[in-house]
Amino acid sequence: MSNSIDNFYKNQSVIYKYVLYILSIALIVYFFPKGGKFKYEFQKGKPWQYESLNSPLDFSIKKTPEEVEKERAELEAKKVPYYTADGDIAQEVIASFEEAFYESEKFQFLNDREKQNLSEKGLLILQGLYEYGIVPSQISETGLKLVKQNKALELTNSQVPTVAEAENKIAIETAAVPTNEHQQALSDLLRSVIKPNVSYDKELTENALADELSKISLTRGEVREGELVITTGEVVEGDKLKKLNSLKSEYESELWSGNNSYFILFGYTVLVALVLMMLFLFLKNYRPEIFADNNKVTFIFTNVLLMVFVTTLVVKTNENYLYVVPLCILPLILKNFFDARLGLFVHVLTILLLGFVVPNSFEYIFLQIIAGIITILTVSELYKRANLFISVGQITLIYIVGYFAFHIIHEGNLNNIEWITFGIFLLNGMITLFAQPLIYLYEKIFGLVSDVSLLELSDTNSKLLKELSDKAPGTFHHSLQVANLAEAAANQIGANAMLVRVGALYHDIGKMENPTYFTENQITNINPHDDIPPKESAKIIIDHVIKGIEIARKNNIPDRVIDFLRTHHGTSVVYYFYKKQEELGGEVNKEDFAYPGPPPFSKETAILMMADAVEAASKSLKSPNSQIIDDFVERIVKSQMDAEQFLNADITLKEIEAVKKVLKQKLINIYHLRVEYPK
C-alpha cells in the first residue's frame, strides 16, 4: 500500500499532464460547433479540382443572404401604410353641424324650406368628406390602405383629404349656394366643425409587413438526387457556387443526425488529440524545462483553450466578426514569457484546431499564420511601449493586405469589397494592445515573469539592491560589472539580455549575510578566514548561494531570476580552500568544497557563470595586457568546460567563443589598454 502511495506521488506530475491532456481534448471538442464537415473544399472563382460531382441527395438551392436581403428591402420600400377611420368622429361632426346650423343667427331669416335645403347641402358636403375620412396632414406615400368597418380599402391620397384640402373642397362645394352671404356663412360653419378622423396604424402596418416578409422564400429551385452539380475543371461561380453552398449546408445538417453524430465526435476527438499530442511532444523533446513545470504547461494550454473558446463562440454567434478575435495575442504572450519558436509552434497548432470550424478555412489559416509570423519577427522588448504599437500596426497591415489580395482573387475586381472588414481588422489590432495588461494578469496568476517585470527588477534603487549596496558595497559593484559583461555577451549571441542583466544584479545577494568574508567587501588587511579552518571557510562561501535563494524568495523575486542564484557557480569547487585543506594534510572530501548546483541549464545562466568567474578573477591581474587578458579568459572558461558545467545548457561551442570574445574586449576596455605603437 505504501509503495503504491509513493509511486503516486512520484508520478503525480505525469498524471497531472494526462488529466490536463484529456480535459483539454474534451473542452475543445465541446466548444466546436455541432455539425458534420463537407468533404470537398472549394472557393469562389477557382476551378473544381475533384471528380464530377452528382448530388448524393435531394436539396433546395438556397438564396444568398444578399438576395434575401434585397427582396426584404424591396418589400419594405413597397409597403403600403395602414390607416384606420373613426366613424364616431364623423357622427360627432355631423351632429355638431346640425346643432350649430339651427342656432346660428345668420340663418334665422330663412324660411323653413330654405333652411332645410341649406342644411341638406351642408350635410351632403360633410358626407362626401367623411366617405373615407380626413387625415391630419399630408401622407408621404402614394397610396394607403384604410381600415373601415373591418375592411381594408386601397385608396389614393386624393381620396383621403387633409384638413386643408377638405376646407378647399368646402369652398368649392358651397360656391353653388345662391346667395353669397349664405355661401360664406355655410362655408365658415362647415370649416369650424370638421375634424380629422383618419390616423396611422403603426402596429397594423408592421404586422402586415412582417407577414409579407415571412412569405419570402429562402430557396430558388431544387436539385434531385443523382443530378450533375459540377464537372471537373468548371469554375466555381454563379449558379454552380449557389448549388455547392446549398449542398454543403444540407449535407452537413443531414450528416449530424442519428448515430452519425457519435462518429463525428469521435473523429473530432482523434484530430484534436493528435494536435495536442504534438504540443506535448514538442515540449518534452525541445523544451524539457517547461515540460517539467506543470504550472507552465497549464499556462500554455489555458491560452490555447481560451483562443479556441473565443473563436468558436464568435463563429456560433456571428461569423462575420471572426477576425475580431485577436489570435496574435497568443504568440505575442508566449514569446514574452518563453521564446519565439515555442510561441510560433503553439500558434500554428491552435490555428490548425480552429481550421476545423471556421468558414473559408484556407483563407483563415493563411492569414493567421502570416500574422503570427509577423508577430514573432517584430515583437521584441515589450517593456518599450512603442514596440507593441509598431508591431500591432504591422499585424493589422498584414491582415488588410491579405484580405485585399483574397478579395481580388475571388471577385476578379474591386467590386463588392466589404469595407467594414477593414474596420474589423483595426478593431482586432486595438484589442491586441490588451496584451500588456493581460501579461501582468498572467504574471500574478501563474507566477511567471515578463520583460516588463525584469525592467522593474533591474532598477538599482529597488529595496533589495539598495540593501545590497549598503551592506556589501563591493559585492554590489561586482554585480554591476558582471551585469554589464553578461548583458553585452547575451546581445552578441541573441540570448535574453534583460534576463541576464537582472540575474547578474541579484546573483550574489546572499553575501549580505556575511559580507566581510568575501574579498571584495574587505576594506582592511584583516581576513576573517585566517582564524577559521578551510572547511568552515568553504562552507561560508558556499552558503551564500543558499542564503541568496532564501532572501530572494522572501522578497518575491521570480523563479527565473532565482535560477541564476542557484546556477552561477554550478557544481564547481571552492578551489582556494580545497587546496588549503589539502596542505594541512589528512583525507579531504572534495564534495565538502563543491557548490550544490545545479550547473547552468540555459544560455543565459551559462553566460552569467562565465562573466561572474572572469570578472571576479580579473581583480587578481597585476599588469594586464591584451595577451594576458586573452589567456586569462581562455583559461577560466576552459576550466569550466572541463568541469562539465555547460553540458545541460543549450549553448553551442560557437556561442561560447563569441561570449569569450566579448568578455576579452570588455576587460580590455575596463583596464584602458591601448595598442603599443612601434618606436
Q: How far is residue 362's CA from residue 406's CA, in Å, rounded to a whole number? A: 11
pLDDT at 2: 47
Query: Which of the residue ranges 261-275, 321-335, 524-538, 612-626 has the most confident prediction, judged by mean pLDDT?
Result: 321-335
Query: Which of the residue ranges 132-146, 186-200, 485-499 has the most confident prediction, judged by mean pLDDT?
Result: 485-499
| Domains annotated on the chain, with CATH | 2-35+259-446 (no CATH), 77-212 (no CATH), 451-670 (1.10.3210)
DSSP 54-117: E-SS-EEEEPPHHHHHHHHHHHHHH---EEEE-HHHHHHHHHHHHHHHHH-GGGTTS-HHHHHH
Estimate the crossing angle of helix 603-618 against helix 473-493, to 10 degrees: 130
Q: How far is residue 104's CA from residue 122's CA, in Å, rounded to a whole number? A: 14
Single-letter amino acid code for the residue at 279: L
In percent, how much of the chain has pLDDT > 90?
33
Q: How far is residue 505's CA from residue 499's CA, in Å, rounded to a whole number? A: 10
Band the pLDDT of 385: cuts 50, 70, 90: low
**For the residues 202-206, what does the mean pLDDT come to?**
86
Residue located via cell numbers 484546431: 353
In sign, the C-alpha dihedral spanning 405, 406, 407, 408 is: positive
Grid coordinates standing for 85? 377611420
pLDDT at 677: 47
Band the pLDDT of 176: cuts 50, 70, 90: confident
Estimate the crossing angle of helix 497-506 against helix 559-567, to 10 degrees: 60
Would you say residue 512 has pLDDT above 60?
yes
Single-letter amino acid code for the residue at 381: E
pLDDT at 381: 64
Q: How far is residue 440's CA from residue 383's CA, in Å, rounded to a whole number? A: 12
In sign, the C-alpha dihedral spanning 206, 210, 211, 216 is: positive
Burial of 61 (0-12, 13-18, 19+ CB in 10 A): middle
The residue among 256, 485, 433 whose CA lies nearest residue 329 is 433
Range list of H helices, 194-259: 202-214, 238-255
Would you say residue 81 has pLDDT above 70?
yes
User: 17-26, 131-140, 339-348: which range is least confident on average?
Assistant: 131-140
User: 79-83, 257-261, 605-609: which range is least confident on average?
Assistant: 257-261
Q: How far is residue 57's CA from residue 314's CA, in Å, rounded to a whole number? A: 31
Estimate the crossing angle of helix 202-214 against helix 65-78, to 10 degrees: 150
Estimate the crossing angle of helix 87-103 against helix 180-193, to 10 degrees: 140
pLDDT at 133: 86
pTM of the model: 0.63
Band the pLDDT of 508: cuts 50, 70, 90: very high
Structure-derived torsion over alpha carbons of residues 564, 568, 571, 575, reported in degrees to the nearest 10:
-160
Would you say residue 582 has pLDDT above 50?
yes
Would you say residue 255 has pLDDT above 70?
no
Estimate the crossing angle of helix 626-642 against helix 653-670, to 10 degrees: 140
In percent, how much of the chain has pLDDT > 70?
92
Band the pLDDT of 641: cuts 50, 70, 90: very high
Q: How far is residue 619's CA from residue 603's CA, in Å, rounded to a whole number? A: 25
The residue among 479, 482, 475, 483 whose CA lies nearest residue 520 is 475
Q: What is the pLDDT of residues 1-38, one digit of tens each?
A: 445 545 544 578 889 999 999 999 999 999 887 765 66
Of the two residues 257 and 174, the one the predictor is more confident about is: 174
Q: What is the DSSP letter of 529?
A: G
Residue 277 host element (H or E): helix 260-286
